[in-house]
Structure formats: C-alpha cells, structure tokens
Structure 1
Amino acid sequence: MSYQTILYEVSDRIATLTLNRPDAMNATTDEMYQELQDLIPRIAADRDVACVILTGAGRGFCAGADLKARKDDATPLERRARHRWILKDILEPLYRLEKPVIAAVNGAAAGAGFNIALACDFIIASEQASFIQAFARVGLVPDLGGLYLLGRVIGINKAKELCFTARKVSAEEAKALGIVNHVVPHDRLLDEARAIASKITAASPTAIAMTKTLLDKSTNATIDQMLEYESYAQTIAYLTPEYEEGVLAFREKRAPDFAAAARR
C-alpha cells in the first residue's frame, strides 16, 4: 500500500517510518492516523523488521494535531469516538509493538507529537529538537497517552509542571529530565539512531520482544509478579532456536545469527 502522509522503508531489518507532512510540521490528521493504523500491524507481522525508527520530515518531528483539519460540527460523542479510535487503534498498538521503536526527534515535538515520541521505547533527539505539552494553550487536556506516559518518565510533579505551564523544553533539558536518552548533532540524528538500531537487530528478536513486554509491565507489577513473569519468559527463551544459536556461536567464537535462527 502506498501512503500519502508517511514514508516507509526497510533496510537491514530496520524500518524507518517518517511522518511526511513537512509543510505542516507533520501535524496529525485523520488520514495520517488511518495510514498508521494500516502500517503498524504490518510492521508487527513483518519478520524482516526487528527495530523501528520513527522520525519526521523537514524541520519538525510532529507539531501535534492539525487544527486546520478539525471538524467544528462534531458532537461530543463523535469526538470521544474519534479519540478512542486513535488511542486504541494507533497509540496503543504502537506502544505495545513487540519490536523496539526509537523516536528520532529532529525538531519540534509538540502536543500529540510529544506524546507519540513518549510512546516509543526511547528517544534520540537532535540538538535542534524541542518538546512541549501544548494542550493548555488551546484549552485541551494532554492526550495520546501523555497523562499515562509522561509521569512515568519524569515523575508526577515534573509532569504537572510541563502540562500546566505548556512551556517549551530544549533537547538538553529533556535529556536532563530523562525524556531523551541521547542528544546528537542535527546532521547525525538518523545515523546515530541507525547505529543503535543495528545493535538491537543483532539480538534475539524473541528475547527482545519478551524483554520489552515485561519491562513495560514492571511499572505496574509487584516484585512477586515480575519474578513469576521472568520465570515463564526465561523458560520459553531456553526452548527457542535463538538460544541454541547463541550457545553455539559462543562456543564457536563467532557472532550469532539470531535472525536466521528465529526462522527455523
């Protein structure tokens, strides 16, 4: 399927998904959400994809919702149905994707754009990137998972400050707050993201999938629950061809080919 608002390519088991409305700073529209709704399950099912990089075309990552595309005549029930569609069919599948997703934030990540980046597993930011929970400026409540995700990343008190004041956060401050993992030169952003993605693609896809799922559960689980989850996951891992390949490669003093093993 060809897309109008996103670009998508796969190379060396790394998928690069680019929000592609540069004239509008990649602001989201229903068309973009529909295309993401189609693409995310395809990524999940594609055995040739082991890691995803999500970025934006042009000067910005994502400026949030495109207010020019809003439907002024929509009823409250219609608006709620639309938001539930976006959250359940786009945001949640992105968050739960059992493949690591790296947000490569190349410019402004505002409103929904900020929260889309938070739904990824971690963020690499250009030195030109900025982050803003802009909702209060237009009388709205943070959405796209922001009320769930932001506090878990930086703590509730700091999350309240960013949401209440709607102030812009630089890439360096975002790193200090724990929002961003790495700040890199603007012209090196995708290269650095691909370098990290390459390390991920060299690992066992089954082990990475289980590790991601269990780490996400750990924020709301007890120690007893996590130890039980770990015991089940490790038992499964011992039974995979990837584990056999890892042991054999260790004995033969070579790099393991986990991608090939996963296909056996």
Structure 2
Amino acid sequence: MDSSILLTIQNQVAYISFNRPRKFNSFNREMAFALQKTLDDCIRNDEVRAIVLTGEGKAFCAGQDIQEITDPDQHPGFKQILEDHYNPIITRIRNIEKPVIAAVNGVAAGAGANIALACDIVVAIEQASFIQAFSKIGLIPDSAGTFFLPRLIGFQRASALAMLGDKVDAVEAERMGMIYKYFSAETYQAEVEQLAEKLAKMPTKALAYTKKALNKSFNNSLEDQLALESEYQIAAANTEDYEEGVSAFMEKREAKFKGH
C-alpha cells in the first residue's frame, strides 16, 4: 500500500488515514489512487463493517496538492484529476454498502472538505474547520461540493461559502447542519471509536439499504421514493439480522447482529 494512506482494522472498523502530514494531507496522484484501492479493499473485506476516514497530524485534508498542478512536468490536467482522482473517490464513498464516517481532526479544505461532506456521518474535533477554498485561486467547488453542500445547509449559505471561501469552524458547522457533531479535544478520539464501533455492530445490510435509499432521495419523486422504501424494506425483512432484531426485542435482550 502507498504510504500516503494508512489502514488499520480494529473491532470490525477500518480506520483509513491520510498520511501526508507535512503537506497537510493534500492529495497528489499517488494518494488518490491509494485511497481508491484502500476503499476497494474495505468493500471486499467482510471483516470490515464500518469505515472511518481521518488524517494524520494537524489537518484532515487540505485538498489538492498545489505543487502537483503548478509543476508543468507533474500536472496531469484538471480533466484527469477530476475524472481519475476525485470523482471515483466520491462515488466509492456513496456506493460502499457500509457506513463511512469522516472524522475531521483538523482543517478540511477544498476537495478535502467535500470528501468529508460526502460521507454518511461527519464528526469533527472542536478545533477543526471547513473551507471551500476554490474561489481563492479562481476555481469552482468540485468533488461534489456543489451537490452536497446546498443539500446540507441550504442554497444561500452554500452559495456564500462557495463564493467567499469563508472558514467555518466545527461549532458553526454543527449549528448549520454541515456536520453531525463536534467533540472536544479531550473526548474526540474516544467518541469517534465509540461511534464507529456502534455502527459496526448494527445490521449492516439494513444500513446499506438506508444509504441507498438516501442516495436515491435526492432525485426521486415522493411516489418513487415510497416504492423504493417498500422494495428495500422487504429486502431488509428477509435478512438474518432482522430475525435477530425481532427476537432480541421480544426476549428483552441486546441484539447481536452479524451483518447478514
């Protein structure tokens, strides 16, 4: 595995860390492909039932490594950067049939912020910040920033943040609905692990159907969404975890889901 991405599996949780701390975990070509491969490995690994994306050092991810796009010998061109590097990362995150948590441990800027916002649940340390930094260098938000941000915080706020490039701290991000929760520095690590391990013990297939239904809800009509819920609910009711959940409820005990 490329050293720019670290993978640790613990208690059925895959912890994927961006590992270019001296570059604030900014992406270059190698790191983008390494992340895609690591996500693919997690998809295939039945031991993994939840995924956490985080960063080493002080930053979560500062987005694109500017050196790569300013060096004429390295610059692959924006078409390749988006279509080969970032877009596949976003589609993997949204299509993985396992919950993906962004644990934002510091600044999340540009594509780094939008990769975080594409995850199923976003939590952050209190000192973290989110910046749509694109306009500061004459670019537009990519990595699905123009898709997820207005859906999370509304058109006006999304438009202002995308155009002005204002920094939003974790407290404000939680208040406006950009993220789920922020935690103090003292409790952050323990809270992330507790959340991830809780998800890993839940009915994995039901969570996957929930994720797919939420994905479809962005574009479906009410009637289409009701029909989809019916389809997925019937499928969920045919899982072993449903049987276990009902049995545990009737027997007044804690359910032991296996992800089947």
User: Structure 1 length as normaliser, TM-score?
Assistant: 0.93
The letter of the residue matching 1:203 is: M
- For residue 250 of structure 1, report the CA deviation from its aligned partner: 2.7
Alignment match, 1:237: 236
Alignment match, 1:106: 105
- For residue 249 of structure 1, report the CA deviation from its aligned partner: 2.5
Q: Is there any run of 5+ residues in structure 2 with no aligned partner, and where? A: none
- Write out per-residue CA displacement over residues 68-115 of structure 1, whole angstroms, 9 at most, x where no aligned residue: 1226448x9943133111244222111222211111111110111110
- For residue 211 of structure 1, report the CA deviation from its aligned partner: 0.7
- For residue 257 of structure 1, report the CA deviation from its aligned partner: 2.0
Instruction: Classify 1:187/1:29 alpha carbon distance in 2 versus 1 (closer, same or farther; 3 Å).
Output: farther
Instruction: Classify 1:105/1:211 alpha carbon distance in 2 versus 1 (closer, same or farther; 3 Å).
Output: same
Show the 5 A alignment for 1:4-23: 4-23=3-22
For the residue of structure 2 that corresponds to 1:235, the secondary structure is helix
Alignment match, 1:177: 176
- For residue 117 of structure 1, report the CA deviation from its aligned partner: 0.5
> Separation in 1 of the partners of 2:83 and 2:37?
16
- Write out per-residue CA displacement over residues 154-175 of structure 1, whole angstroms, 9 at most, x where no aligned residue: 1111111001111111111111
1:54 aligns with 2:62: no
* Conserved? CA contact 2:2–2:30, under 8 Å: no
When structure 1 is superposed on structure 2, of 190-199 and 56-65 the one drifting more is 190-199
For the residue of structure 1 that corresponds to 2:25, the secondary structure is coil
> Separation in 1 of the partners of 2:195 and 2:83?
33
CA RMSD after TM alignment: 1.9
- Write out per-residue CA displacement over residues 187-217 of structure 1, whole angstroms, 9 at most, x where no aligned residue: 3222111111222122111111001110121
* Conserved? CA contact 1:10–1:49, under 8 Å: yes
Show the 5 A alignment for 1:72-91: 72-73=71-72, 78-91=77-90
Alignment match, 2:93: 94
Q: How many corresponding residue pairs?
A: 260
Alignment match, 2:125: 126
Instruction: Classify 1:219/1:107 alpha carbon distance in 2 versus 1 (closer, same or farther; 3 Å).
Output: same
* Conserved? CA contact 1:87–1:145, under 8 Å: no
Q: Is there any run of 5+ residues in structure 1 with no aligned partner, and where? A: none
> Separation in 2 of the partners of 1:248 and 1:122?
29
- For residue 53 of structure 1, report the CA deviation from its aligned partner: 1.1
> Separation in 2 of the partners of 1:22 and 1:79?
24
* Conserved? CA contact 2:117–2:179, under 8 Å: no
1:67 aligns with 2:59: no
Alignment match, 2:43: 44
When structure 1 is superposed on structure 2, of 31-40 and 234-243 the one drifting more is 234-243
* Conserved? CA contact 2:25–2:55, under 8 Å: yes
1:31 aligns with 2:30: yes
- For residue 61 of structure 1, report the CA deviation from its aligned partner: 0.6
> Separation in 2 of the partners of 1:82 and 1:57?
23
* Conserved? CA contact 1:106–1:186, under 8 Å: no
The letter of the residue matching 1:98 is: E
Alignment match, 2:153: 154
